């Protein structure tokens, strides 16, 4: 193993020099954006398609302590949502992150320490997305069950308050933080320094497509988050990503924004449009529906309509 | 103290192989997570959050939750996930530097790791959260006779779904670490790659202890049969793979392979002894739970 250790001069990069014929730079950028589109499609499919699935799945089981038989019931749409969001989104997120990381590794622009850090961050994002979604699905159903008894006693009310908090505040925040973390990893994987010019330059249409994607996703995710009482999480999180990104480029770029080239960094355009769309959507929604006096401040669309 | 720690670290680095050190990091982190939870369990403090409730209520409510459960979720969730990821990244880096880790395999392992961590944490969250709310639902049902369905719902997600997902996530992580070893493992059969006696002790003792803890957790979580079958399947694959390559030394030379086999043996012995001492139930989960003991 000593020989292995001494041979790690390349920083232990498993992708260096492998993979056959490499894609040209612009094609590589397009494939990165396709994986982003796939991530967004899985995100939308989990939400939209589950609305069309009907039926209930029953699991008969025995309560071990008493030996009494019981039945656990779950909506088929919830099972679909768990599969697509908790696991489909993790797989789509991994593809998105892996394609971006590999792109910069092929150009030798991603140090192994940064790569490892981003990989560790991704597993945290994966557990936030999967865990948050599973908790949301089951606590949402449980919330409806304990809500009926909440007025019976102080114990029942305390149970309802706890279940509601976990369902609405914890689980939604986890999902949205997980999704933003995946986007943050993708943006952080890009080197701040000069990019290898022609190899990464793309057509204006590709950059415009990325910006349009950011605009659509920003508005939709803000509304989804407002429904889940986590609108502020998405707003603050996306603004924090943008400000950090700008600050890093300003500092590393010799107190200028010269490194922010939209035709080489379509993800920056995506993030900018995401933040703008989310902010506009939040402002418009607060004008239409008003604000609550305490967190989560934004009214839920389903309550208003 | 600092010098002693540096001395101990120097001793470990000088006398163990990278794979043993990776295994020890995993085990030490697990131990640290268990220790981190203990003071909070002893104190029994509650975390309280006052928040504004929407959905037709429009008033403030106070959610109360045990601090020990929050620390448990944080320690075994994100903190252990980073450790598990570090262990795999180090293993991939070591083998790729030796030219024994194809890029495609590295990607597949990383994806499997993400899925196994997602599964484990989904289970951990369901288990810990429904354990707390299930206790409250049961207390309410015992006091009033109302809300039996709530109790059954929470019980199923806590005891059955939660524990089985935890078991599936952990076992798939062990599988990921076992699969990270190169296919052409004749290299590992060489005598100079055999673990020395100290290393074997460092692997065998934690593996046996982990086997006992994992057995107790599986018995309490009603997932012993599932864990035995899934761990057994992985151990069989590992053993068959090494036998097929006539590489008899590979298991005893790789900490994670040794860990899987030793843990399975301990779990089998523990469940057999437990079943013989207390008998078995005629329905799943078959084994009596430790909390059912008088």
- Please report whether residue B285 resides in a domain: no
Peptide bond into B80 cis (omega under 30): no
Q: Write the DSSP assignment of B124-170 as a string of letters.
A: HHHHHHHHHHHHHHHHHHHHHS--HHHHHHHHIIIIIIIHHHHHHHH
Considering the domain architecture, whether residues A163 and A182 belong to the same structural domain is answered as: yes
Quote the domain boundaries for residue A230: 201-305
Which of A163, A191, A219 is a domain's end point?
A191
How confident is residue B237, by pLDDT bands cut at 50, 70 and 90? confident
- Please report whether residue B100 resides in a domain: yes
Contact with chain B for residue A155, Cβ under 8 A:
yes
Q: What pLDDT sits at residue A123? A: 97
Question: Which residue among A8, A12, A126 sits closest to B114, beta carbon to beta carbon?
Answer: A126
Which of residues B71 and B180 earns the better pLDDT score? B71
- Please report whether residue A2 resides in a domain: no
Closest CA to B157 of B120, B125, B116, B121: B125
Q: How many domains does chain A have?
A: 2
- Please report whether residue A66 resides in a domain: yes
Alpha-carbon distance B197 to nearest alpha carbon in chain A (angstroms): 17
Contacts of A171 (CB under 8 A, 6+ apart): A132, A133, A135, A136, A139, A140, A228
Peptide bond into A140 cis (omega under 30): no
Q: How far, in Å, CA of B150 to CA of B31, rounded?
A: 35
Contacts of A74 (CB under 8 A, 6+ apart): A56, A57, A59, A141
Strand ranges in A24-121 using DSSP code E only, listed in sequence order: 56-63, 68-75
Weakly modelled stretches of chain A, pLDDT under 70: 1-29, 196-200
How confident is residue B275, by pLDDT bands cut at 50, 70 and 90? very high
Share the mean pLDDT of chain B: 88
Provide, as residue numbers in chain B, all residues whose Cβ is less than 8 Å from the Cβ of A64: 159, 222, 281, 285, 289, 292
- Please report whether residue B287 resides in a domain: no
The answer to whether the CB atoms of A62 and B98 lie below 8 A apart is: no
Considering the domain architecture, whether residues A28 and A156 belong to the same structural domain is answered as: yes
In this structure, what token pair is assigned to residue B48? 């309280």
- Please report whether residue B253 resides in a domain: yes
Q: What pLDDT sits at residue B215? A: 94
Considering the domain architecture, whether residues A216 and A100 belong to the same structural domain is answered as: no
Alpha-carbon distance A265 to nearest alpha carbon in chain B (angstroms): 25
In this structure, what token pair is assigned to residue A96? 């998105």
pTM confidence score: 0.90
Considering the domain architecture, whether residues A100 and A185 belong to the same structural domain is answered as: yes
Considering the domain architecture, whether residues A178 and A234 belong to the same structural domain is answered as: no
Distance of CA A212 to the CA centre of its chain: 18
Q: What pLDDT sits at residue B56? A: 84
- Please report whether residue A5 resides in a domain: no
Provide, as residue numbers in chain A, all residues whose Cβ is less than 8 Å from the Cβ of B158: none
Closest CA to A116 of B220, B84, B252: B84
- Please report whether residue B263 resides in a domain: yes
Backbone angles phi, psi at A13, to 5 degrees: -75, 110
- Please report whether residue A8 resides in a domain: no
Structure-token match 């193993």, residue found: A1
Q: What pLDDT sits at residue A12? A: 43
Q: What pLDDT sits at residue B9? A: 58
Considering the domain architecture, whether residues A131 and A168 belong to the same structural domain is answered as: yes
Q: What pLDDT sits at residue A18? A: 38
- Please report whether residue B22 resides in a domain: yes
Quote the domain boundaries for residue B80: 2-278
Alpha-carbon distance B124 to nearest alpha carbon in chain A (angstroms): 8
Which of A157, A191, A225 is a domain's end point?
A191
Considering the domain architecture, whether residues A65 and A213 belong to the same structural domain is answered as: no
- Please report whether residue B283 resides in a domain: no
Q: How far, in Å, CA of A161 to CA of A145, rounded?
A: 13
Q: What pLDDT sits at residue A24? A: 52
Residue B194 has pLDDT above 80, yes or no: no
Return the residue in B118, B162, B221 with the most chain A beta carbons within 10 A, the one to mutate for interface testing: B118
Q: How many domains does chain B have?
A: 1
Q: What pLDDT sits at residue A21? A: 41
Q: What pLDDT sits at residue B4? A: 62
- Please report whether residue B284 resides in a domain: no
Counting one residue from chain A and one from chain B, the pairs whose CB atoms sit within 8 A come to 217
Minimum mean pLDDT range among B70-79, B237-246, B273-282: B237-246
pLDDT tens string B170-188: 999 999 998 888 766 566 6
* CA-CA-CA-CA dihedral for A102, A108, A110, A112, to nearest 10: 90
């Amino acid at each position: 193993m000593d020989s292995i250790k001494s041979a790690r001069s390349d920083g232990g990069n498993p992708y260096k020099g492998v993979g056959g014929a490499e894609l040209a730079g612009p094609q590589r950028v397009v494939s990165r954006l396709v994986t982003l589109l796939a991530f967004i499609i899985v995100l939308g499919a989990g939400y939209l398609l589950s609305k069309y699935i009907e039926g209930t799945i029953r699991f008969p089981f025995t309560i071990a302590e008493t030996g009494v038989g019981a039945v656990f019931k779950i909506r088929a749409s919830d099972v679909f949502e768990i599969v697509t969001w908790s696991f489909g989104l993790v797989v789509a997120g991994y593809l998105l992150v892996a394609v971006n990381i590999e792109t910069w590794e092929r150009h030798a622009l991603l140090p192994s320490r940064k790569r490892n850090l981003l990989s560790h961050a991704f597993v945290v994002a994966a557990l936030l997305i999967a865990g948050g979604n599973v908790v949301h699905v089951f606590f949402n159903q449980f919330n409806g069950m304990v809500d009926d008894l909440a007025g019976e006693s102080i114990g029942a009310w305390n149970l309802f308050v706890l279940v509601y908090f976990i369902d609405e505040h914890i689980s939604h925040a986890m999902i949205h933080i997980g999704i933003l973390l995946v986007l943050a990893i993708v943006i952080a994987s890009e080197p701040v320094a000069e990019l290898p010019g022609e190899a990464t330059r793309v057509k204006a249409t590709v950059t415009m497509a990325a910006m349009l994607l950011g605009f659509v996703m920003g508005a939709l995710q803000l509304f989804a988050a407002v429904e889940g009482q986590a609108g502020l999480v998405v707003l603050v999180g996306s603004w924090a990503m943008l400000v950090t990104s700008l600050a890093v480029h300003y500092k590393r770029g010799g107190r200028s924004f010269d490194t922010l080239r939209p035709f080489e960094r379509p993800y920056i355009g995506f993030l900018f449009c995401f933040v703008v769309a989310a902010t506009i959507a939040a402002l418009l929604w607060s004008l239409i529906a008003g604000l609550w006096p305490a967190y989560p401040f934004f009214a839920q669309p389903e309550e208003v309509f | 103290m600092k010098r002693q720690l540096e001395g101990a670290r120097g001793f470990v680095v000088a006398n163990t192989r990278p794979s043993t050190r990776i295994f020890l990091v995993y085990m030490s982190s697990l131990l640290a997570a268990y220790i981190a939870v203990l003071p909070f369990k002893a104190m029994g403090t509650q975390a309280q959050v006052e928040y504004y409730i929407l959905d037709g209520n429009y008033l403030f409510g106070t959610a109360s939750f045990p601090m020990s459960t929050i620390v448990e979720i944080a320690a075994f969730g994100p903190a252990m996930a980073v450790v598990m990821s570090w262990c795999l990244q180090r293993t991939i880096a070591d083998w790729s530097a030796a030219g024994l880790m194809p890029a495609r395999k590295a990607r597949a392992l990383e994806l499997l790791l993400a899925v196994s961590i997602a599964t484990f944490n989904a289970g951990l969250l369901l288990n810990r959260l429904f354990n707390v709310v299930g206790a409250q639902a049961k207390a309410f049902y015992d006091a009033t006779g109302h809300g039996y369905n709530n109790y059954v719902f929470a019980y199923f997600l806590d005891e059955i779904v939660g524990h089985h997902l935890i078991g599936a996530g952990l076992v798939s992580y062990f599988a990921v670490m076992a699969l990270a070893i190169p296919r052409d493992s004749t290299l590992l059969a060489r005598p100079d790659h055999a673990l020395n006696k100290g290393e074997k002790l460092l692997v065998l003792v934690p593996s046996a202890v982990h086997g006992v803890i994992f057995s107790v957790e599986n018995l309490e979580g009603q997932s012993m049969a599932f864990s035995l079958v899934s761990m057994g399947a992985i151990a069989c694959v590992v053993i068959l793979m090494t036998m097929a390559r006539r590489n008899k030394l590979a298991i005893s030379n790789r900490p994670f392979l040794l860990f899987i086999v030793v843990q399975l043996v301990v779990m089998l012995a523990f469940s057999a002894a437990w079943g013989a001492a207390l008998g078995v139930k005629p329905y799943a989960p078959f084994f009596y739970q430790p909390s059912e003991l008088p």
